[in-house]
A and B are shown apart, each in its own frame.
Chain A
């Protein structure tokens, strides 16, 4: 039976039709909204870009005006401070014809990070991340090594050398938009010195400062307790923390001390979520700070550090183009140089970084009650004569290193060029050991002390370092020729730290990083033996103590350098460590990066302000 098409059906169909039409119209509307939104986003991005450019021009203009003033009123300021600022090199880079903004920098860390919160973190990786986010008042020019202003526009030193006054850039802002003022600097110091904050190392370091006072919105005064040679670097290197962000944690210091990623600053990059980073992400990703105040805006959109612990995995990732740098071991480097596919996409750099430091063998002298064989200066000197450093460099490090004479870099003025490293001589070593009472008394080839105990010691080293292991095995074979028994003791990192703190080792091989002017107080001053301080070999020399104290209190560089050199001569004489070598950095960097240059501070690849860039046609990552 046919059903009739009734009025009810008509209404139903009409409603249905209407609904469909409405739906179509709605879809069209939504689509138009999306398009509109994309257009708005695009124009916003353009505006942001314009604003960055404008900010850059403004900064440049301001600099010109001020330098004009300085020329006009040449009698005005008398400090040696006004020699351009930190952005000069980056500005020059941004004037290059192929300069372009955009692209990402992706590199890798070899070990996982526990935390990137400033003060709480202690490793070099975390400080590399922080250097992109936090800024200090001054920085060093990588080529001249002079201090130049970053957050500070100018600065003066009082006549007694105890007071440092900084005038800051008024336009400086944190990445959340809050202005950066002198109060933030004073707060940072107060924050570090607060005993409830877990920053004992920084506190010890900054305890030379008596007070930090904001004398105006953009002027801050550092006052020191006593003259200190590194005072400017101490004051100027203080990474400024935002008061409005960190102050609430004074109420609840535990939340700060145990935090993983509380990082906010005024630097060119920022964390997407300033409180949200956690170690389990397996990478650190920074995005460009859209409100960066600096005269030159950083070129890269993102800076990413991936965590790849395995060496060969890191190399494979680099080969695949997923990370942009690879730092190679000497043997590997030699092989990779012949790799055509790799050299097609990466440039290689070998350079000696002045801050990379030196490696050494530390001889534990034992305690005053129970001295070890190494408490005798002649034994330590004999060990240095036996340590064939040139051979280690040639055979283990394939020549990519230089012999270290002392803790001071040979390129620095702290080093006395007249001092030459001891060479290799079994005869001299044997003679010294005989003098110290060690001789082969039973004819078995091993030397014994007066009671007939053989000269045998354990050399503790980090178990995961292949090159160190090779070196230790080589040393064992060399020492054997003089009748000295070396027993290699590979150790896990945490166990090694514990052994150092308990002074429970015979000899240990490690490295210290160093600065441009190395302060040896922590490592060799006898006041640093007690507790768990860094003079863990128990080395004591009153004359050296006096020289170190005097040098640290001498602000005048020309008067200070002879004191350091005298200290160096004592160290050379006493050999509390056998200084091994300074190693070159062997680095591969992706070819798309432009303006790479080896400065006196090392390669400028991740130096700040950023002065490298990727030309537009070679950019790899989307904007």
Chain B
């Protein structure tokens, strides 16, 4: 196997052009596990760990730009993320294990394009954009347009995910992330909920809700969001929204849980929001 260690984004992009079949490896915690399971070894790997300008945080104009190859440990420990994007911080906190977080990257998790990827529901709820670089330039698009199917991304040949750009929510928000897994750490999500609520004068002005592991991709539920808008945050309102969620999600049954369990819990998790906000 040929492993390349470009030092710059340009060099990485050139390597991808030169070797169209090359796989990109960031932290390797997903890629190498899949190679083992599928018993295949890519001919060429382009390893991003030495590309300096792919990692790090930039905070400006009401947004936080996180380099795609930023480790999950760095995401978890970043003060701006903790203070301004508690939703993302909350997901990073329960991401795999400390050891995996030292290696895995935010961009890598996005590029699994898995409905069970812990970081995706928060990014959907936050309205994050991805920044894509190629030798011909840079483009951005909303993360929900980037993910086009399970394991599939709108990534052109020779293109690289270079950053995730997250707008900082305005006003007073409730941001809550919960992952239901089979254990505390190293859990693959059975259901996850990322909720971002803007509450003004006790009334929900905006609700953005995204679920993981209850469909082929991350699922938003506009009906539930619309239902909550203009109401106060009560168990009753959340229960009604939950009914919409049950109809929207399309989970499967697997070794971790049945579809019915996932459907029920996807709705149930909304009720936690009442507890978080102290409402009844």
The judgment on whether A and B are partners is no
Q: Interface of B with A (CB < 8 Å)?
A: none
Q: Interface of A with B (CB < 8 Å)?
A: none
